[in-house]
Amino acid sequence: MTVERSADVSSAALGTQPRSVACQCRNASVDLGSRAGPRRILGDINFDLHEGEFVAILGRSGSGKTTLLRVLGGLVDPTPESVVTFHGRPVAGPPQDVVFVFQNYAASLLPWRTVHNNVALGLEGKVPVAVKRARISESLATVGLEARAADYPWQLSGGMQQRVQLARSLAMRPRGLLMDEPFGSLDAMTKASLQDQLQQVHQHTGATIAFVTHDIDEAVFLSDRILVLDGSPATIAHEIPVELPRPRDQLATKELPEFLRLRRQVYDAIVETGD
């Protein structure tokens, strides 16, 4: 793994403190079935996610990003010698306080339930009714959809449906969010607005976020650190710290020389992985 330091911005200068480990991946490997038998997709993946950290995962199509998220979310079993923990406990099945956000929002919302009742899904039977109602209103307000609570998903635009999925995740108050290209299919303006909302949520909740994307600007804009997957089986080929000041602004941050430098660095890292 190549660990690349930021040019001249140290974490001490930005006042960031060392944080405790939320998620640990040690020698994590994954074998998945193919016609020719099991194939090693991920090999010896090693990294920690720190509590409250926002980590973006990049890599070419088919490099194993979704598979890695599925391992962290307990949806795919790694090989027996792998160690994957969340808050110190081995991941075996989906951890209680971790929520998955998928790219395909249409498939994740139930068309026969209203927006309100879709957001309620993860809370039913888990919290008292009054708490459930309060959390639903609050999370719909966070994504700017409180006025659409009584609508059905099919009455909303794609960007709004993705916001409903995000509201449902937020209502569950997760300590960890695993996001697989959540804004991949949205137009540029909706994407920017959701990035801003996600940034606010991250600041307010302190959730640990692993965010898969193909969009280099999005990765640099949102994250504290970028991991680039490459190889067959895939490992972490590059680890790039992003030490831009927060809160970040769609225009001002993206004009900073450090933003442009990081964007170039990540681009070069991904191009290099294709050699």
Ligand X SMILES: Nc1ncnc2c1ncn2[C@@H]1O[C@H](COP(=O)(O)OP(=O)(O)OP(=O)(O)O)[C@@H](O)[C@H]1O
| Closer to Mg ion by Cβ: residue 24 or 66 | 66
| Closer to Mg ion by Cβ: residue 82 or 213 | 213
- Of residues 22, 23, 25, 41, which one binds ligand X by CB under 6 A? 41
Checking 153-158 for CB contacts under 8 A at 24+ apart, the result is 153/106, 153/109, 153/110, 153/111, 153/113, 153/115, 153/118, 154/111, 156/115, 158/105, 158/106, 158/185, 158/186, 158/190
With CB cut-offs between 5 and 8 Å by kind, which of ligand X, Mg ion, none does residue 62 bind? ligand X
Of 5-13, 43-51, 56-64, 245-253, which segment contacts ligand X by CB under 6 A? 56-64
With CB cut-offs between 5 and 8 Å by kind, which of ligand X, Mg ion, none does residue 59 bind? ligand X
Q: Does 62 bind ligand X (CB under 6 A)?
A: yes
- Of residues 29, 67, 82, 195, which one binds ligand X by CB under 6 A? 67
C-alpha 143/C-alpha 136 separation (Å) is: 11
Residues 6 or more apart whose Cβ sits within 8 Å of residue 210: 23, 49, 55, 57, 69, 72, 176, 177, 178, 179
Nearest to 226 by CA among 186, 256, 275, 268: 268
Question: Contacts with ligand X: how many residues (CB under 6 A)?
Answer: 12
- Of residues 29, 56, 59, 122, which one binds ligand X by CB under 6 A? 59
With CB cut-offs between 5 and 8 Å by kind, which of Mg ion, ligand X, none does residue 17 bind? none
C-alpha 123/C-alpha 136 separation (Å) is: 9
Q: Does 61 bind ligand X (CB under 6 A)?
A: yes
Nearest to 76 by CA among 55, 98, 91: 91
Question: 258, exposed or middle or buried, with CB in 10 Å at 0-12, 13-18, 19+?
Answer: middle
Nearest to 72 by CA among 270, 229, 193, 205: 229
| Closer to ligand X by Cβ: residue 230 or 243 | 230
Residues 46-75 that bind Mg ion (CB under 5 A): 66
With CB cut-offs between 5 and 8 Å by kind, which of Mg ion, ligand X, none does residue 33 bind? ligand X
| Closer to ligand X by Cβ: residue 108 or 142 | 108
C-alpha 168/C-alpha 119 separation (Å) is: 4
In the complex, what is the shortest distance from the CB of residue 125 to ligand X, in angstroms, rounded to a whole number?
A: 30
With CB cut-offs between 5 and 8 Å by kind, which of ligand X, Mg ion, none does residue 61 bind? ligand X
* Site residues for Mg ion per CB under 5 A: 66
* Site residues for ligand X per CB under 6 A: 32-34, 41, 59, 61-67
